[in-house]
C-alpha cells in the first residue's frame, strides 16, 4: 500500500512539473483500466479517500489543498480517458461477449470497423 501511495504522490508532484507528459501517462493509465472493467464513477470517491488520508498525515492546509487539486486532475484525466476509450466494441471484447461484439460491429459500416475496433471514429 505504501508503494501505491508513493506512486500517487509522485504523479501529483510530476503533474506540476511535467503536465503534458503526465497527461499522456494518465490517459494511458485510464485506457488500461478498461481491461479491468473499471467504472469512471469510482474515481471521485477514490480521490476523496486519498485526500482524507492526506489530511490525517499532513497538517499543512496548503499541502492538502495542492494534493486535492492534483488528485482531482489525475482522477478526471483517468476518468475521461476511460469514458472516451470504452467503446461498445472494446467493452464486448473485454467481457468476452460474442453477441455484444457482433451487435456493436453490425452498427458500424464495414469500411470503418477496423478504426472502430481501435477506438477511433466510433459513432
What are the pLDDT digits (tens) for 21-31? 999 999 999 88
pLDDT of residue 105: 87
State yes or no: pLDDT of 91 exceeds 90.
no
Give the DSSP H/E element, type plus range, for residue 63.
helix 61-85
Q: What angle do CA 38, 54, 13 make, to 5 degrees?
A: 75
Per-residue burial over 26-43, b if 16 or more Cβ lie within 10 Å, else e, is: bbebbbebbeeebebeeb
List, in sequence order, every beta strand (DSSP E) within 5-120: none
Give the pLDDT band (50/70/90) at residue 54: very high
Residue 73's CB: how many other CB atoms inside 10 A?
19
DSSP 38: -
This prediction has a pTM of 0.76
Amino acid at each position: 500500500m505504501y508503494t501505491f501511495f508513493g506512486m500517487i504522490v509522485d504523479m501529483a508532484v510530476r503533474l506540476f512539473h511535467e503536465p503534458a507528459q503526465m497527461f499522456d501517462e494518465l490517459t494511458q493509465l485510464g485506457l488500461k483500466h478498461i481491461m479491468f472493467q473499471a467504472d469512471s464513477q469510482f474515481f471521485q470517491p477514490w480521490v476523496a479517500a486519498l485526500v482524507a488520508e492526506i489530511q490525517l498525515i499532513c497538517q499543512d492546509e496548503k499541502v492538502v489543498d495542492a494534493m486535492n487539486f492534483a488528485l482531482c486532475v489525475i482522477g478526471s484525466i483517468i476518468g475521461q480517458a476511460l469514458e472516451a476509450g470504452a467503446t461498445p466494441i472494446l467493452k464486448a471484447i473485454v467481457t468476452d461477449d460474442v453477441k455484444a461484439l457482433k451487435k456493436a460491429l453490425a452498427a458500424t459500416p464495414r469500411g470503418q470497423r477496423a478504426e472502430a475496433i481501435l477506438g477511433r471514429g466510433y459513432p
